[in-house]
């Protein structure tokens, strides 16, 4: 493959593009270059403009080819193709009937086939052993049907490129909630789901006040039992510590910021939690690469303003040109026109500014950045409404009630995990810290590459302490905390996910959430020696900090994981039927990841 000189793509970025994004012939061989892919996408999305299509195409192309902004994966994969489905996030309702449930499964399969991820609330399903229509039969409950969704996901690849991803949500007052909380205790169960418990303010206050709350049968809306809230909350923390699931979504907090409350309540999110949506609603996402908005050690605010405006224009166009997988989704999406403009490369921006990730200055920077992005995105949405019209549900919306001028989009901002698009852009994932300074990436069978953070390597060479032996030592652990010969100020600057306390992870998430319309995808990483009590504290801090949800992951909590440090017998125990983990021999101790790991959401790449 020929790489155009203007494209600054890493070897691994090229491999990911070849594997999943570039168009292929019938034999699986790429028939376009990365430059041609960006041109294809720019041309297709610019077709959403009635006027000045050529100018828009060039602006969109330049923004993507310079890796300053990238849209979600379905847009890169499908724009300008027969598939034509460009959104990443979909929510489907699950009614309490056999016909409704299996209709939702069919709809899920159609969405996965086009490259989208799906979220569901199973809270409307009657509980296990409840009565059903036919005499002598009883209901099997939400978890049994989730297994059917999971099985269907296994056999349908998204757009033929990747396996599907789902979010499964159950309210804390559903009678089957305890079984739901412990569902992932069995390794491999519901593998294609992230699961989250939807909690209310009332429940959280019951946790704090150490009191009881009631379970309610959704079929009858009658109270059936009461549980001690602290015990349920402790179980959630225990399971999250043990398995990484469940996460939590704060349902009342989400609906307080629901931009169209007159249309309905939000019950679910997309697979990684950053996009709360109404039933049958979709949203397309795009992320600005913050690592490329630093100039002479300062944030280039004018460049950032330009990217926000062009990025918002691009995402609104996507709604115009996408092919909706279901007519119901077309109806709700076109009525609200939600877009999710976000960021990636926050960790690398901080490094370029000389700001440690776990510092008050980082919090101030996060708030300033997101406030600016939010304000500029809304200005652009208001401008678009003046020429294209406001989103149809604007009258009676939150923005209408707050006195905003008519807007083109019900929401404008979302912080996604970015996944593979951050690999293509060659930067850190979303707002996550660096997951390692140096590591070995498994590229393909028999091929592994040592990757070093380019900013660290540059500084190490400039300051004269770069040594190959030092890099190999860093690659063994991922972090530089215990490596000698590195200045203390750089050890504070180049912190990794496991160097940072849970409190700082949550505080960074909350700082971004303050100025984000939708939600923020962020993993609270915990070292293996962490305790369930630390998980509980993170959950409580997330609620008190007004986050819309929270997800934790404790290293070593799964038999098979995408990042592993270790060797010998311990390493062999960790190896499973996954290509994510590779060890060259028993004596070697090395941090290794698979070709598409970016240190982000554990289930999907958006």
φ/ψ of residue 109, rounded to 5: -60, -40
DSSP state of 1: -
Residue 135: which pLDDT band, with cuts at 50, 70 and 90?
low
What gap in Å lies between CA 448 and CA 469, rounded to an integer?
18
Check residue 446 and give its pLDDT: 60
> Strand 447-452 relative to strand 69-71: parallel, antiparallel, unpaired?
unpaired
Residue 568: which pLDDT band, with cuts at 50, 70 and 90?
very low
pTM equals: 0.93
Q: Which of 152, 155, 158 is nearest to 116 (CA)?
A: 158
Check residue 230 and give its pLDDT: 98
pLDDT higher than threshold 60 for residue 583: no
Check residue 518 and give its pLDDT: 98
Using a pLDDT cut of 70, give the percent of the chain over it: 90
What the block records as the tokens of 328 is: 């119901």
Residue 45: which pLDDT band, with cuts at 50, 70 and 90?
very high
Check residue 580 and give its pLDDT: 36
DSSP-assigned beta bridge partners for residue 117: 89
- The stretch 498-526 carries a mean pLDDT of 96
Residue 490: which pLDDT band, with cuts at 50, 70 and 90?
very high
pLDDT, mean over the chain: 91
Cβ atoms of 155 and 164 closer than 8 Å: no
What gap in Å lies between CA 372 and CA 350, rounded to an integer?
16
φ/ψ of residue 10, rounded to 5: -75, 165
Check residue 445 and give its pLDDT: 59
Residue 454: which pLDDT band, with cuts at 50, 70 and 90?
very high
Check residue 7 and give its pLDDT: 86
| Residues designated catalytic | 270, 272, 274
Residue 152: which pLDDT band, with cuts at 50, 70 and 90?
very high
Residue 561: which pLDDT band, with cuts at 50, 70 and 90?
low
Cβ atoms of 591 and 439 closer than 8 Å: yes
pLDDT higher than threshold 50 for residue 42: yes
What gap in Å lies between CA 432 and CA 451, rounded to an integer?
18
**Residue in the structure block whose two tokens are 């708030």:** 367
Check residue 443 and give its pLDDT: 67
> Strand 157-158 relative to strand 298-299: parallel, antiparallel, unpaired?
unpaired
pLDDT tens across 456-477, in order?
Answer: 999 999 999 999 889 989 998 8
CB atoms under 10 Å from CB of 160, counted, come to 13
Which domains occur in the chain, in start order? 89-269 (3.20.70.20)
Residue 162: which pLDDT band, with cuts at 50, 70 and 90?
low
Degrees, nearest 5: CA angle 292-297-303: 40
pLDDT tens across 269-324, in order?
Answer: 999 999 999 999 999 999 999 999 999 999 999 999 999 999 999 999 999 999 99
CA 427 from chain center: how many Å?
Answer: 16
Using a pLDDT cut of 90, give the percent of the chain over it: 80
What the block records as the tokens of 178 is: 């305890």
Residue 448: which pLDDT band, with cuts at 50, 70 and 90?
confident
Helix pair 301-321, 360-388: axis angle to 10 deg: 50
The H-assigned helical ranges of 283-437 are 301-321, 327-336, 346-353, 360-388, 398-401, 420-425
Burial of 112 by CB count in 10 Å (0-12 exposed, 13-18 middle, 19+ buried)? buried
pLDDT higher than threshold 50 for residue 587: no
């Amino acid at each position: 493959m020929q790489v155009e000189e203007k494209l600054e793509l890493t070897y691994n970025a090229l491999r990911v593009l070849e594997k999943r994004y570039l168009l292929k012939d019938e034999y699986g061989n790429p028939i376009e270059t990365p430059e041609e892919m960006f041109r294809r996408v720019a041309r297709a999305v610019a077709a959403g403009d009635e006027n000045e299509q050529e100018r828009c195409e060039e602006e969109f192309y330049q923004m993507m080819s310079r890796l300053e902004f990238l849209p979600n994966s379905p847009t890169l994969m499908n724009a300008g193709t027969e598939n034509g489905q460009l959104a990443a996030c979909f929510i489907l309702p699950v009614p309490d009937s056999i016909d409704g449930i299996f209709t939702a499964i069919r709809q899920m399969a159609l969405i996965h086939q086009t490259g989208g991820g799906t979220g569901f609330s199973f809270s409307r399903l009657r509980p296990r052993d409840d009565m059903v229509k036919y005499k002598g039969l009883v209901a099997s409950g939400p978890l049994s049907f989730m297994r059917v969704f999971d099985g269907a996901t296994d056999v349908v690849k998204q757009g033929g490129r990747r396996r599907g991803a789902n979010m499964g949500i159950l309210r804390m007052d559903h009678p089957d909630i305890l079984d739901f909380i412990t569902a992932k205790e069995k390794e491999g169960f519901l593998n294609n789901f992230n699961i989250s418990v939807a909690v209310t303010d009332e429940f959280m206050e019951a946790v704090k006040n150490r009191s009881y709350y009631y379970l309610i049968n959704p079929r009858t809306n009658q109270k059936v039992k009461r549980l001690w809230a602290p015990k349920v909350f402790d179980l959630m923390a225990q399971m999250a510590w043990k398995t990484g699931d469940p996460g939590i979504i704060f349902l009342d907090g989400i609906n307080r910021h629901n931009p169209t409350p007159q249309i309905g309540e939000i019950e679910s999110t997309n697979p990684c939690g950053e996009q709360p949506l109404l039933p049958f609603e979709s949203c397309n996402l795009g992320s600005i690469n913050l690592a490329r908005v630093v100039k002479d050690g300062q944030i280039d605010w004018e460049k950032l303003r330009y990217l926000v405006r062009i990025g918002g224009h691009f995402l609104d166009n996507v709604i115009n040109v996408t092919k909706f997988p279901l007519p119901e989704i077309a109806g709700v999406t076109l009525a609200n026109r939600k877009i999710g403009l976000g960021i990636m490369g926050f960790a690398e921006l901080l490094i370029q500014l000389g700001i440690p990730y776990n510092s008050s200055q980082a919090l101030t920077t996060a708030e300033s950045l997101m406030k600016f992005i939010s304000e500029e995105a809304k200005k652009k949405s208001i401008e678009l409404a003046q020429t294209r019209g406001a989103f149809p549900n604007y009258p009676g919306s939150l923005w209408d009630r707050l006195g905003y001028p008519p807007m083109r989009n019900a929401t404008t901002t979302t912080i996604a995990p970015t996944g593979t698009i951050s690999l293509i852009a060659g930067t850190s994932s979303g707002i996550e810290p660096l997951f390692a300074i140096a590591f070995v990436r498994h590229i393909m069978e028999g091929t592994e590459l040592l990757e070093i953070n380019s900013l660290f390597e540059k500084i190490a060479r400039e300051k004269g302490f770069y040594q190959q032996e030092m890099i190999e030592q860093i690659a063994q652990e991922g972090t530089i905390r215990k490596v000698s010969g590195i200045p203390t100020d750089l050890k504070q600057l180049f912190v990794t996910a496991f160097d940072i306390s849970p409190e700082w992870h949550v505080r960074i998430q909350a700082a971004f959430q303050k100025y984000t319309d939708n939600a923020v995808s962020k993993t609270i990483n915990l070292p293996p020696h962490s305790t369930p009590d630390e998980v509980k504290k993170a959950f409580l801090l997330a609620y008190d900090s007004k986050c819309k949800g929270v997800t934790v992951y404790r290293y070593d909590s799964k038999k098979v994981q995408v990042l592993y440090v270790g060797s010998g017998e311990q390493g062999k125990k960790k190896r499973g039927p996954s290509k994510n983990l590779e060890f060259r021999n028993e004596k070697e101790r090395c941090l290794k990841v698979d070709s598409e790991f970016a240190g982000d959401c554990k289930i999907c790449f958006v």
